[in-house]
Amino acid sequence: MSTYAEIAVEDLTETEAAAELARLATEIAHHDQLYYAKDAPEISDAQYDELRKRNNAIEAHFSELIRDDSPSRRVGVAPSSGFAKVTHAVPMLSLENAFDEQDVRDFFAGIRNFFRRPEDVARVAADAIEVMAEPKIDGLSAALRYEHGRLVLGATRGDGVTGEDVTANIRTLRNVPKTLAGKGWPDVIEVRGEIYMEREGFFAVNAEREAAGEPVFANPRNVAAGSLRQLDPAITARRPLKFFAYHWGETSAPFARTHGEALEHLSGWGFTVNPRSRLCHGVDEVLAAYREIGADRADLPYDIDGVVYKVNDIGLQRRLGFVSRAPRWALAHKFPAQQAQTVIEKIDIQVGRMGTLTPVAFLAPITVGGVVVQRATLHNEDEIARKDIREGDTVVIQRAGDVIPQVVSVVLDKRPSNSVPYQFPEECPVCHSLAVREPGMAARRCTGGLICAAQAVERLKHFVSRDCFDIEGMGAKHIAAFWEDGLIQRPGDIFRLKAEQIAGREGWGELSAANLIRAIVQRRRISLDRFVNALGIPQVGQATARLLARHYRSLDHWRREMEQPDNEAAHASLLDVHGIGDDMAADIVGFFAEAHNRELLDDLVHEVEVLDYESPNRLGPGGAAASPLAGKTIVFTGGLETMSRSEAKARAEALGANVASSVSAKTNFVVVGADAGSKATKAASLGVTMLDEGQWLRLAGLGEDAAESTASGAPPGAG
């Protein structure tokens, strides 16, 4: 070891620093060779991290001494303060879940009912439709973009629209091709798949961390996700991550007619595809595949939590399209929940951002499905009463996938003799306001509103969260501390924070305060859907926020519609949004009816710029962005001959249109089918453009043949 290794970086002379950098470059290169080339590391992750940390600290202090062979240069990029954001050209959506056989049969029935023409219905009959069944890997979704056969970008799924640029980390995965093999690949293709860690690698990582006195990871998925998001790619490189390719996003040209054919191409281009994927004909074969894969689950080297079904014909995939958050042509069939017994040590009440009182059971720690569980949701007071759950009870808990563990039942013969029934509180445990339960509602709510610290803080936490303003470095504990000390009381205050207000507080220095302010400034521009989600309106989450953004297009337009003197007009405007019902519309109108909410919005728009909504081009070149339907409102009435109403709506939405359920003066087109009723009459009286079925097909780019026009196109991928 160098005689300078024990000297603090700030105490090194220039000569000593140069000698240390030379030593570190040689030593780190030696360990890289052992790890990557020989799979025989001599030191732990923690020891290796300390070497790199010291190298980076010296380079930061003596930037003029950075060597050409510096470890920070060999890994491709130097550690940064965060990841750049990547907007997915084709959204990476999630999948709908099935938990039993009937859910799967309902999925097949939904596909069958989607189509109208006899030849289509025959192709999607429950015993005939071709479906690929693939193990559902319990990992982290990623998208890899190739241009002219070379890897140029790797990104996480993020919120489905925006992910993180982790290209340098992706490049360290050994089974990710840096250059595509074979031939026939499109000039541009985004390959999607799952990054995961096999159990053997997971145990090895945890053994090293335990030996180094570091906390161990709960499961392979957590370590895979944490490894991919390391700011230093060298750390990612030392973790045995792998990649299964299972789909694709944007492509410059179609490359397959079926999903099975696409997987064959991906394999030929150098990707690993799951060998357990298989083509099934009909629902019974699909369920048989599910049982077979489930029976072999424990013998697989990696964790799976279900089986994914995908309609094999890509033309049918395109026609089936999407609902707000998932494709209609795919389904995740989850395995049954895993159960265990433990003791409820305490029942606590948590207050959410809407004032809902939620009971949570604090448990004696127990491992369920490889994850240590210490808490479980009890849902509400009726659930506690129905199951007679008490503190001190031994209970059966279950966990399915990433779902929060829940209490299934009480083991009565293990109940303590001094046990007493649990009394649900009638006042808020935080602000002590009355907690009321309105007729027909399952939950009690605190009546304190924004005077309740829990509600105020939880709303602010939601505001800065990943799917909303996504302010890096402003965690839950910081929000709580800033609120408690009066630095922030409402969202607009966040953007008025100054570094000098933060620096010097517990846990904050000048650099960390400056970094937080920089992160806040970077979020002064935000998309409309994220802004709407951040407001925390009851029942309005990520998917509904996107519906509202797509329909109203701008914040000004939405506010004008919602702040009309006539609440009924605002309510009717919301019912024009396909997917929003009476209850949700009432909550949105109610939000705008409150003066303090309007004042909050006025204050906030002085601090941020809300970007008008832009339709994602779901159909690739020549799709939504080029469509005459983009941004238009369309209503369907009457029956169509060539396709079902569901398929017509899906096509319109894929082209960027807003599908409404009622006709108004703001409607652009009404498609009139057979036996059209009052909607056609109202459209005529308002002078709205009416289209017959042929005109609609031509406007939608389908000509006269809806079945064949998209048969070879590649649909957007699901994550």
Three-state SS string across 561-618, please? Answer: HHCCCCHHHHHHHHHCCCCCCHHHHHHHHHHHHCHHHHHHHHHHHCCCEEECCCCCCC
Find all residues with CB under 8 Å of 478, minimum gap 6, and list them.
none
CA–CA distance, 357 with 350 (Å, rounded to integer): 6
Is residue 646 within 8 Å of residue 664, measured between CB atoms?
no
Q: DSSP assignment, residue 467?
A: T
CA–CA distance, 313 with 335 (Å, rounded to integer): 26
CA–CA distance, 341 with 677 (Å, rounded to integer): 59
Q: DSSP assignment, residue 178?
A: S
Residue with tokens 């899906």, as numbered in its chain: 650
CA–CA distance, 164 with 92 (Å, rounded to integer): 13
**Three-state secondary-structure class, residue 663:** coil
Tell me which residue of 120, 122, 124 sits closest to 111, measured CA to CA.
Answer: 124
Q: DSSP assignment, residue 449?
A: G
Tell me which residue of 477, 453, 451, 452 sits closest to 464, measured CA to CA.
Answer: 477
CA–CA distance, 708 with 119 (Å, rounded to integer): 12
Four-point Cα dihedral 184, 189, 194, 195, nearest 10: 100
Helices 14-32 and 45-61: crossing angle, nearest 10°? 150
**Three-state secondary-structure class, residue 16:** helix
Catalytic positions: 136
CA–CA distance, 448 with 439 (Å, rounded to integer): 19
Is residue 494 within 8 Å of residue 488, measured between CB atoms?
yes
CA–CA distance, 82 with 69 (Å, rounded to integer): 24
Region of 638 (left: φ > 0; alpha: ψ -120 to 50; beta: rest) is: left
CA–CA distance, 602 with 596 (Å, rounded to integer): 10
Is residue 98 within 8 Å of residue 333, measured between CB atoms?
yes
- What is 292-360 written as a DSSP string? HHHHTGGGSSS-EEEEEEEESBHHHHHHH-B-SSSBTTEEEEEPPPEEEEEEEEEEEEEE-TT-BEEEE
Region of 326 (left: φ > 0; alpha: ψ -120 to 50; beta: rest) is: beta
CA–CA distance, 143 with 147 (Å, rounded to integer): 13
CA–CA distance, 620 with 628 (Å, rounded to integer): 15
Q: How is residue 635 written in tokens?
A: 């209503």
Q: How is residue 19 written in tokens?
A: 């000698």
